[in-house]
Copies of this chain bind each other. A is one copy, B any other.
Amino acid sequence: VNNTEALKNIRIVLTRPSHPGNIGAAARAMKTMGLSDLWLVSPLQFPHGEARARAASARDVLEQAHVVDTLAAALEGCVLAIATSARHRELRHDVMDVRGAAREALAAATRPVAIVFGNEAAGLSADEAVRCAIWAHVPTSPDCTSLNLGAAVQVFSYELRMACAVAEVAPPAEFETATLDQIELLYEHFRTSMTTSGFYDPAKSGRLLQRMRRLLARTRLEAEEVNILRGFLKSLEKPRRT
């Protein structure tokens, strides 16, 4: 199931961003995760060359960004606003981590949903904060709690995409797994070679063969790897180059 359609209804709102580089980084972070709807509330400098530079191939997201004066304007038409600020503890109601908040956002995203980021230093004002139903919390080290704005947008956008994903991360099928019969023959080959070389001595070698069996059993070798190892063992049976 491809659920990424819902990402089109996610609006990323940056409130009074100070650094144009962060706006560009946010645009790139969004685009890599399949988001495109960027709203800027009273940006200090925009447009700006550094925003374009950091956006890299996501310049289209910048060019289509909506610039408005107030958070209220950025939330027009939205059914849910989620705040990501660390401030205003006293105003928070529904606090959850970003993973949970991303799921809530997607569940509501049959219509526009806003993810609201505060200014780099000051966060959100109290007036802005009260407009947000959910407070999303990024777990951080107590020693350093302040994510870069672009990085915060990246983490949230990533969680939004993960929430969509019925992940299609199938390993490439180009490698054929060895059968247990092939593994057994490889084990026998090792046993013979180790005996011939004098490395394995039934009277003295204890659990050696058991360890070899365990190693081969848990490795899940590919057929070609079995061939390589058996080819090597076979080469030992010929007169040695010296």
Please report A residues at the B interface, Cβ cutoff 8 Å: 4, 25, 28-29, 31-34, 54, 56-58, 89-90, 92-97, 99, 137-141, 143-148, 150-151, 154-155, 158, 161-162, 165, 167, 169, 171-172, 174-175, 190, 193-194, 196-199, 208, 211-212, 215, 219, 221, 224-225, 228, 231-232, 234-236, 238, 240-242
Q: Could you show 20 A-B contacts with beta carbons less than 8 Å apart?
A: A29-B147, A29-B151, A32-B147, A34-B143, A54-B148, A57-B144, A93-B171, A139-B165, A139-B169, A140-B161, A148-B150, A154-B154, A158-B158, A194-B232, A196-B240, A196-B242, A197-B235, A198-B241, A199-B235, A211-B225
Q: From residue A7, how far is it (CB to closest CB) to chain B in Å? A: 8
Q: Which residues of B contact A137 (CB under 8 A)?
A: 169
Q: Which residues of B contact A231 (CB under 8 A)?
A: 199
Taking the full assembly, how many copies of this chain does it contain?
Answer: 2
Q: Which of A57, A234, A235 has the most CB of B within 10 A?
A: A235
Q: From residue A53, how far is it (CB to closest CB) to chain B in Å? A: 10
Q: From residue A80, how far is it (CB to closest CB) to chain B in Å? A: 15
CB pair B194–A212 under 8 Å, yes or no, is: no
Q: Which residues of B contact A150 (CB under 8 A)?
A: 148, 151
Q: Which residues of B contact A175 (CB under 8 A)?
A: 93
Q: From residue A52, how far is it (CB to closest CB) to chain B in Å? A: 14
Alpha-carbon distance A92/B211, docked complex (angstroms): 27
CB pair A144–B95 under 8 Å, yes or no, is: no
Alpha-carbon distance A242/B34, docked complex (angstroms): 55
Known: A56-B146, A174-B90. A31 touches B154 (CB 8 A): no
Closest B-chain residue to A225, C-beta based? B215
Q: From residue A204, how far is it (CB to closest CB) to chain B in Å? A: 12
Q: Which residues of B contact A138 (CB under 8 A)?
A: 158
CB pair A194–B148 under 8 Å, yes or no, is: no
Contacts A31-B143, A34-B141, A215-B221 aside, 10 further interface pairs with beta carbons under 8 A come to A25-B148, A32-B141, A32-B146, A95-B171, A138-B158, A139-B165, A190-B232, A196-B240, A215-B225, A215-B228
Q: Which residues of B contact A155 (CB under 8 A)?
A: 154-155, 158
